[in-house]
A = this chain, B = another copy of it.
Amino acid sequence: MHEPLRVVTIQEARSKLEEHWQPQRRVKLFPLDEAGGMVLAEEVSSEIDLPPFDRSDYDGFAVRAADTFGAGEDDPVELFKVGEVLAGQDPEVELERGQCATIATGAQVPNGADAVVMVEDTTSIGERVEVRRSVTPGENVSERGSEIEQGAKIVSAGRRLSPQVHGTLFACGVRDVKIFCKPKVAVISTGQELIEAGSKLGPGQIYDVNGPAICDAVNNCGAEPSYLGIVQDSFSEIEERVREALSDHDLTIISGGSSAGAKDIVPETVNGLGDPGVLVHGLAQKPGKPTFLAVIDGNPIFGLPGYPVSALMVFDQLVAPYLRFLSAAPEVGRKRIRARLAKKVLSARGRRELVPVSLDEGDCLLAHPLRKGSGAITSLANADGYIAISVDQEIVEEGAEVTVNMFGGSELA
């Protein structure tokens, strides 16, 4: 049985965890067409010259520039049309002196030609083309490799594959990219009284909320949750399920049921599974008392409170930052916003307290405190975020300006 540990602040909890676990992003080679929205783990270079050939910028005639020298409005040069090149075609023709070929925008400039005369500067009479404006070598042509050369850097590591960046890599012939993997997260609920959604409630039973809600929150951090279900308050069941979690996940989250007596079974069982075991047990804030952090042979385990709003607040503070780092997920919306407190809140001196709030946009943004109690389910449905009341504050008055930490994915974010 592990010794009771001193309650610590969130910052201390993170430091203790990071003494034994340094989050490392995993990298994977991924087909480009399935990688939209993901984050590049390496710099990417072009596989091809772009354009891959000398390309006409306009509809007109491919010419040898030298043939047009001296051409003017009143002094046209006459060329002999020997072929036509459409976009996407292999230009089978090769120009000799005095020859030209009809060419479309985007088409490949044929051998022998080095410039394009725009159609509006010409007059065609059968096979003869009068050119009324001279062009210099390269004029109206995008030279092969002028956008980017094969092997040149396109984008840096760390860029997200937005439609623009993703499209660029397609243009450059890239097929596979190294991306940061979604971290795999095991989610376990514990509690004698819990049953899974879809089952029929028996006497004394309630539906599990934390399993699906924490999976959603994991998803919102760009990570991949797998819900391992509910375990009863028994050493052997907890041990078996946690070992399953550790074997195949980057991170494990266990939320406690509310059943008493069994309160310490989870951290005690976890502590016996490997080294260094439980590092933190209890946060110096309300809620947070039942929170524990452990590392078992390099794998982190986060134990969250059983009460859903508390579980999600502690998730947001302790787990989400690691998941967002591991998945290289962007911040979604505003994380903190200022609002006025709609109703005064009392708090016990000597303890930091988090209070869930719902937001209400009127003349100014109002934060309504939602207290645990008979309306617990309403406070879960309506919580947009939470405010923190510091250790030395006993009261926050109605109308006071507060900072609301938004839950990820909130409506107002």
Residues on B with C-beta less than 8 A from A85 are 204
Query: A201 touching B48 by the CB < 8 A rule?
Result: yes
A249 CB–B CB distance under 8 Å: no
Pick from B162, B166, B209: contact of A170, CB below 8 A: B209
B383 adjacent to A164 (CB under 8 Å): yes
Chain B nearest CB, measured from A254 CB (Å): 16
A59 contacts chain B at the CB level, 8 A cutoff: yes
Q: A171 contacts which chain B residues (CB < 8 A)? A: 206-207, 209, 308, 377, 380
Which chain B residue lies CB-closest to A165? Answer: B381
A245 interface residue (CB < 8 Å to B): no
Q: Which of A103-111, A123-131, A276-284 contacts B (4 or more CB under 8 A)?
A: A103-111
Contact of A194 among B88, B147, B154, B378 (CB under 8 A): B88
The smallest C-beta distance from A309 to any residue of chain B, in angstroms, reads: 8
Is the beta-carbon distance between A89 and B212 smaller than 8 angstroms?
A: no
The contact string, 1 if C-beta is below 8 Å from chain B, for chain A 9-35, is 000000000000000000000001100
- Specify which chain B residues have a CB less than 8 angstroms from the CB of A382 in the assembled complex: 164
Chain B residue nearest to A382 in the complex (CB): B164
Q: Please determine whether B411 and A53 come into contact, CB atoms closer than 8 angstroms.
A: no
**Cβ of A317 under 8 Å from chain B:** no
Chain A binding surface, main DSSP class: loop
Stoichiometry, copies per complex: 2
Q: Complex Cα distance A91/B161, Å?
A: 57
A59 touches B260 (CB 8 A): yes
- CB of A377 within 8 A of CB of B50, answer yes
List residues of chain B with CB within 8 A of the CB of A321. none
Interface string of A231-245 (1 = CB under 8 A from B): 000000000000000
| Smallest CB gap from A147: residue in B | B377
A37 within 8 A of B: yes
Q: Which of B105, B160, B259 contacts A409 (CB 8 A)?
A: B160
The yes or no answer to A219 lying at the interface (CB within 8 A) is yes
Interface presence of A70 (CB below 8 A): no
Supposing A106-B257, A377-B147 touch, asked if A166 and B201 sit within 8 A by C-beta, the answer is no
What chain B residues lie within 8 Å of A257 (beta carbons)?
Answer: 87, 106
On whether A167 and B258 interact (CB within 8 A), knowing A88-B204, A204-B85, the answer reads no
Distance from A255 Cβ to chain B, minimum over Cβ atoms (Å): 11
Interface residues of A in 186-207 (CB under 8 A from B): 191-194, 197-198, 201-207
A266 within 8 A of B: no
The B-contacting residues of A in range 247-263, CB under 8 angstroms, are 257-261
Could you say which residues of chain B place their CB within 8 Å of the CB of A381?
Answer: 154-155, 164-165, 168
User: In the complex, what residues of B have CB within 8 A of residue A298's CB?
Assistant: none
Q: Which of B50, B91, B159 contacts A411 (CB 8 A)?
A: B159
Contact A104 B259 (CB under 8 A): yes
* Contact between chains at B106 and A259 (CB < 8 Å): yes
> Does A362 belong to the interface (CB within 8 Å)?
no
In the complex, are the beta carbons of B209 and A167 less than 8 A apart?
yes
Report whether A167 and B53 are in contact in the complex, using a CB–CB cutoff of 8 Å. Answer: no
Could you name 21 residue pairs across A and B whose Cβ atoms are closer than 8 Å? A51-B206, A53-B203, A87-B192, A87-B258, A88-B191, A88-B193, A104-B260, A108-B203, A108-B204, A147-B377, A148-B377, A154-B377, A154-B381, A162-B410, A163-B213, A163-B409, A164-B308, A167-B213, A168-B209, A170-B209, A171-B209
* Additional A-B contact list (6), CB under 8 Å, known A154-B381, A330-B413: A50-B206, A59-B261, A90-B203, A106-B257, A108-B203, A167-B209
